[in-house]
Amino acid sequence: MASEIERKFLVPAVPSSVELGSGSRLRQGYLAIDGPVEVRVRRSGDASVLTVKTGSGLSRTELDRELTEAEADELWPSTEGRRVEKVRFRLPLPTGDILELDVYEGALDGLVTAEVEFADADAAAAFDAPDWCVRELTGDAAWSNALLAVQGRPS
């Protein structure tokens, strides 16, 4: 079980100098959102994963289990009305960190966010984000994928 320490940013525009490379299309559907606990199915190509997230804020705990396609197909209808679609690009930064750039589609079309995961809280605090990561969203539940899926983009 992994402990996640990450920071998240709003990206109003990706500079054309940023090389995106090829992304992977992800669909996430939420089976349950219950206080600090989220249970989701993430599908990418023919790979699907069940994830339980607990805790809140900068540091969360995450449990992952692979699903067969048949299992994912059977669970998927229970996520109706609580889904996000996005293309994820992985950008290596000069700092050595990996920035995950999520370009949303469907109902969230136009939204772009960036996430960086860190080994510990010190590394997270020391991180100097690219200047196109304009607004920090870390710990703001309204910008979590779970609430974006349910409520849409915050106004």
Q: Which residues are catalytic?
A: 30
Q: How many residues bind a copy of itself, per CB under 8 A?
A: 22
Which residue of 52, 87, 123, 129 would you call a contact of a copy of itself, by CB under 8 A? 52
Residues from 1 through 20 that contact a copy of itself (CB under 8 A): 1
Q: Residue 113 in 3-state DSSP?
A: strand
Element (H, E) at 124: helix 121-126
Asked if 63 interacts with a copy of itself (CB under 8 A), we say yes
DSSP string covering 55-101: --TTEEEEEEEEE-HHHHHHHGGGGTT-EEEEEEEEEE-TTS-EEEE
Task: Decide: 87 and 103 in contact? Cβ < 8 Å.
Answer: yes
Asked if 109 interacts with a copy of itself (CB under 8 A), we say no
Binding flags for a copy of itself, 16-45, as an x/- string (CB under 8 A)? ---------------xxxx-xxxx------
Closest CA to 67 of 89, 52, 87, 81: 52
Which residue of 18, 23, 54, 127 would you call a contact of a copy of itself, by CB under 8 A? 54
Nearer to a copy of itself, 24 or 78 (CB): 78
Task: Decide: 153 and 111 in contact? Cβ < 8 Å.
Answer: yes
Asked if 49 interacts with a copy of itself (CB under 8 A), we say no
Applying CB under 8 A, which residues contact a copy of itself? 1, 31-34, 36-39, 50, 52, 54-55, 61, 63, 65, 67, 70-71, 74-75, 78
